[in-house]
Structure 1
């Protein structure tokens, strides 16, 4: 049974760590001030912060739609052997993008009441013109075509079609691992096992440019898979980024130092998070003013909480 608690559970993920490093004030809004903001009887600040938390931007919304479509294409293929056409998928995502724009501009009242069910684009919410920048629209159009074409040509999709040689792990089987009393959330895009080579392949679909953080994120996934499935050697694990814009993939061979580094990152990050707690046992945060507000024009202009920070 769902239990309403005054404070959220302390957990860890790569995205949570990154948020704290980028701006502690944004971290406070994301993980504490917005807590319980979905409840009808929540205080006005919690509800408003939760609403702002649910704002997305065009690039993130696009990436989410592509990931969702890829997931369903793979699941459907594994059950039926059917492969939809590129045009059908492009049209599906294009319609969803258009729907997101309509919800942001003409159905703001619905998003206001149920922000977890309707889309609000950052470019619309913080604009006086209710229009998307033309250059962004053109960029997303070109990304859409490239992402779908490259998905079908990807190394991973090629492997998926060799079903008799592969074992596919259901996504419901990986959610989090626990270190001490802290849950570490693991959100892998895809995991399968090559039965012939006895390799476990972890896949992360990327709809943006390559980042220096990509390897660390995959190392965390590898640590989870090694523990969850009792894999003896790291040589049995392959981590792969599929870069859908460029149509390339990058594979890494991990060693124990990689896993040690990600464990050290987790340890240092949790210690930093605990510095902002009044009561560690309850995960009760300090007052908001104790969370520094890092002001950097580029980051602040993209932040969901502009109006809370600057009015």
Structure 2
């Protein structure tokens, strides 16, 4: 199944498994696709890539092996910074939808309160409901820090709360949000959903934070909200989003404006891409796809090579924060 299916609300009991089989075709091997996050994971550690995209496949099914189930559970772990980013993105999405419907702009304190409740819920489930999570990892949350260390570091909690306050204030004052609420001729497109296109015969997935059409200025604006520091990956992701607009909606590159809104610092960076930059994005994607195919035993079915052939990273620091380090440690003994 595709990454989209893997995010759905499957359970491990036999009755629901039968229902799932009626709704979705259960395949022995996952579908092959490409995404920026998939590419990034492979570049960081092929072993992690193998756990995430192959070994965990079908791990929600009752009949799956214990190893597949364990890999699937570990896939569902989320660390505190990642959860923080997810919750801020979800809240931003809700705020923009509500503003378009009601015209009411909320206070930062209200948004902060809602996110704090979600963070507290994740902590409580991680602390009190580990057994339930082990059985149904899609129904409960488990923080990486709680699973591996049994506690959260006080300094990390303080940092998250400080970032939360800053990010939400910067969002409400951001160029993109202010532009959206002040302009009348704006067509808002559904955000945070899976979109896909086919490049050289391969399904490519993208998830945009926000996209809208400015009818007055005849521009398509793509926005990526960033809750962390600036990264060299930022422009690459935006280039991929622009490629989607060009391929799927036949938008001219001159009519596409892409932005990174850095909520931690309050800065906004706007880019006007060139055709050469888009061509480079396609070339890098094709190179990445070719590399991924080295780990296929059968290209038609996407059957992987033997798991021993997925090489572990030589950068030991990556192992510290990897969801699957438990499996690597077991394999080493």
Q: In the alignment, what sits opposite 1:280?
A: 299
Taking structure 2 as the reference length, the TM-score comes to 0.90
After superposition, the C-alpha distances for 1:16-63 in whole angstroms (9 at most, x for unaligned) are: 001111010000000000000011221111111000011010000000
| Correspondence 1:41 to 2:60 | no
Q: How does 1:1-311 map to 2 (within 5 A)?
A: 1-127=23-149, 130-171=150-191, 175-232=195-252, 234-311=253-330
After superposition, the C-alpha distances for 1:111-158 in whole angstroms (9 at most, x for unaligned) are: 11121222111111111xx22111111110110000110010011111
CA distance in 2, matches of 1:80, 1:163: 15
Q: In the alignment, what sits opposite 2:7?
A: none
| 1:171 to partner: Cα distance | 3.4
Equivalent residues of 2:193, 2:208 under 8 A apart = no
CA distance in 2, matches of 1:37, 1:123: 22
CA distance in 2, matches of 1:168, 1:15: 25
CA distance in 2, matches of 1:116, 1:217: 27
After superposition, the C-alpha distances for 1:49-88 in whole angstroms (9 at most, x for unaligned) are: 0000110100000000000111111111111212222111
CA distance in 2, matches of 1:48, 1:295: 24
Secondary structure (helix, strand or coil) at the match of 1:281 reads coil
| 1:173 to partner: Cα distance | 7.9
Unaligned runs of 5+ in 1: none
Unaligned runs of 5+ in 2: 1-22
Secondary structure (helix, strand or coil) at the match of 1:70 reads helix
Aligned length: 308
Secondary structure (helix, strand or coil) at the match of 1:175 reads strand
CA distance in 2, matches of 1:110, 1:71: 30
RMSD over aligned Cα, in angstroms?
A: 1.3
Secondary structure (helix, strand or coil) at the match of 2:211 reads strand
Mark the CA change 1:260 to 1:63 in structure 2 (over 3 Å): closer, same or farther.
same
CA distance in 2, matches of 1:192, 1:30: 33
